[in-house]
Structure 1
Amino acid sequence: MSPKANVSIFIQTLDEEANMAACLECFHWSDDIVVLDSFSSDRTEQIVKAFGARWVQHKYEGRAAHQNWAMENIEFKHPWVYYSDADERVTPELRDEIIRVTSRPNDEEVAYQLRRRDHFRGKWIPRSTNYPLWIVRLFKPGKIRWARKANPVPIIDGNLGTLQHDYLHYPFSKGLTDWIWRHNRYSSYEAEETIRSITEERLNVRELFSSDPTQRRIALKRLSFRLPARPILKFMYQYFLRRGFLDGAAGFHYCLLQAIYEYFIVLKVAELRSTKGVQDGTASCPSK
């Protein structure tokens, strides 16, 4: 372990025995690894404790709420925290960069964003996954909170910096069945967020062209909530406009899965609106 590694590691888990050992090994250089678990039923706990990491459990009620609870209730040993999911990996180059930037005296940044490399069918598929996609992963816990149940948006109190090295993501590491199960749950959160956004948030067209990639991503998401034929448009955007076809067969299947995920959201939005109509007494009575 490097004596310069004044960084705590924060990992969220739910039944991650397939990924846990390899993920933990990426962070052997930190002396403070905290795993926040949503009551796993497999061997995740045994693997984590055998590695010597701290084990905390809390009921999962959406990604933002889960992460905010952690920032408010977990006492991290170091002033900086690097957040990782169990299906993500940190390269040696990224590790060295993290240690370097967090060792700077009087650093003005309170958080750093970096790019994610998504893998599917044994290969990196940059075009199909909108690379470069910038995600905040390194931060001071007192300076960040999140909003939204799924794909949470960071709210940062201070300056945001940029790291040069990417982290690796293996979203299909537990198989296609697990991916579909997770995205079925995520689509329920996204359906709720769609209705909330359309009802409460204004679409600012200028934000679509913002120099801030996070702001652009939020604006694009708000725009997508208001578009017709969202599943078809998403496939066309990722496969043709973003040139996902250059990722080969893996790119085609990934773009199709994303369109199916979008279709889940559309159907659940309609279901929520229908259910609300029944609850409000506004649903029409069938004729005799």
Structure 2
Amino acid sequence: MTPVSVVVNTLNEEANLPGCLESLRWADEVVVVDMHSIDRTAEIATAFGCRVFQHERTGYVEPARNFAIAQAKNSWVLVVDADERVSPGLATWIKDHLGSISAVAFRIPRRNFYSDRWITCCGWFPDEQLRLFQRDYVRYSDRIHRAPTVEGSVITLPLHGEAFFAHYGFNTLEARVEKDNKYSSITAQSMFQEGRRIGAFGLLTRTVWAFVTAYLFQGGIRFGTLGVSLAWERAFATFLKYAKLWELQQKHKSS
């Protein structure tokens, strides 16, 4: 088996972390980089035998990714979020095949669950994540929700195979809206700094189109009331992002 280091970034993840770490028992080492949690996150990681480091709070995970990867002892690194689980099939695939395939990185399918139901509509699937790679060929951006930069060949694992991440990040609408509100502020600031601007027509059409895309073209209509809820949540997240961008524009004009 090719040695693999798993890295997990955390912030107040005592509820999610035990399940995540249980799914990583097979790994050569697990590195947990915590952002000064005020709960038992670091204590739990230590109890599982992880190597634990602290990183300043940055509001979102990307700036801490490269630091976490730098702490790994092995060339091959698997990045896992605390609210994710590595399927037994993925663990087996890594143990049996990693190192025998000519690639520097792999995209892994992620199955997103909502109240324990696997959601395949509204853009929730396929949700391929570039998370398994040789550390010297990959670097994460400091910008939120940006794909890492890869120097070399990338292979995507089969979408409907047994090798996947299971993601349990959102069990309530309240949790999703709370996260949308947080990330939309960061994204709006990033867009503003890039010189992007929005007006009334753009705000309206992007919001409506987000709902139409999620509900009609991405299969929300097949999921009944849940599909309607997920599509509207997608539209609301889009609205927040661009409304906050517009708000930044107004503040800039008046300053």
What is the TM-score when the length of structure 1 is the normalising length?
Answer: 0.79
Deviation at 1:54, TM superposition (A): 1.1
Q: State whether residues 9 and 32 of structure 2, in contact with CA within 8 Å, keep that contact through their aligned partners in structure 1.
A: yes
The alpha carbon displacement at 1:93 in A equals 0.7
- For residue 129 of structure 1, the aligned residue among 112, 123, 135 is 123
Q: Give the alignment of 1:70-89 within 5 angstroms.
A: 70-71=68-69, 74-89=70-85
For the pair 1:112 / 2:88, whether they are aligned, the reply is no
- Name 2:54's counterpart in structure 1: 57
User: Does 2:221 align with 1:245?
Assistant: yes
Secondary structure in 2 aligned to 1:65? helix
Mapped partners of 2:157, 2:216: distance in 1: 29
Structure number, greater radius of gyration: 1
Q: Unpaired segments of 5 or more residues in structure 1?
A: 201-225, 280-288
Distance in 1 between residues matched to 2:56 and 2:178, nearest whole Å: 18
How much does 1:198 deviate?
5.1
Alignment length (residue pairs) = 246
Displacement after TM superposition at 1:194 (Å): 2.6
One-letter amino acid matched to 1:81: V
Alpha-carbon deviations, 1:210-247, whole Å to 9, x = none? xxxxxxxxxxxxxxxx7752222111101111111212
Distance of 1:229 and 1:57 partners within structure 2: 43
3-state SS of paired residue (1:153): coil
Moved over 6 A (4+): none
User: In structure 1, what is the equivalent of residue 249 of structure 2?
Assistant: 273
Letter in 2 for 1:89: R
Given that residues 32 and 68 in structure 2 are in contact (C-alpha distance below 8 angstroms), is that contact kept between their aligned partners in structure 1?
no
How many percent identity over aligned positions?
Answer: 31
> Quick one: which of 11, 29, 34 aligns to 2:8?
11
What amino acid does structure 1 have at the position aligned with 2:68? Answer: A
Q: What does 1:198-237 align with in structure 2 at a 5 Å threshold?
A: 199=196, 228-237=204-213
1:97-108, aligned counterparts within 5 Å?
A: 97-104=93-100, 107-108=101-102
What is the CA–CA distance in structure 1 between the aligned matches of 2:204 and 2:141, rounded to whole Å? 25
Deviates more, 1:78-87 or 1:188-197: 188-197
Q: Secondary structure at the match of 1:169?
A: strand
Q: Which residue, 32, 36, 41 being the options, matches 1:39? A: 36
Q: Quick check: 1:111–1:161 contact (8 Å CA) kept in 2?
A: yes
Amino acid at match of 1:172: F
- Residues of 2 paired with 1:170 and 1:100: CA distance? 26
| Aligned counterpart, 1:67 | 65
- 1:184-224 deviations in whole A, cap 9, x for unaligned? 22111211233345549xxxxxxxxxxxxxxxxxxxxxxxx
Equivalent in 167, 170, 192 of residue 168 of structure 2: 170
Whether contact under 8 Å (1:125, 1:251) holds in the other structure is no
Cα 1:7–1:237 change in 2 (3 A) is same
Partners of 2:194 and 2:228 in 1: CA distance: 30
Deviation, structure 1 residue 273: 0.9
Could you list the runs of 5+ residues in structure 2 that have no partner in the other structure?
Answer: none
- CA distance in 2 between counterparts of 1:17 and 1:75 reads 22
Aligned partners of 2:206 and 2:44: how far apart in 1? 41
TM-score (normalised: structure 2)? 0.88
| 1:46-92 CA distance string (max 9 Å, x none) | 11111111111112334332213333xx3312211111111111111
Distance change >3 Å, CA 55–CA 118, structure 1 → 2: same
Aligned position for 1:217: none
Aligned match of 2:153:
159
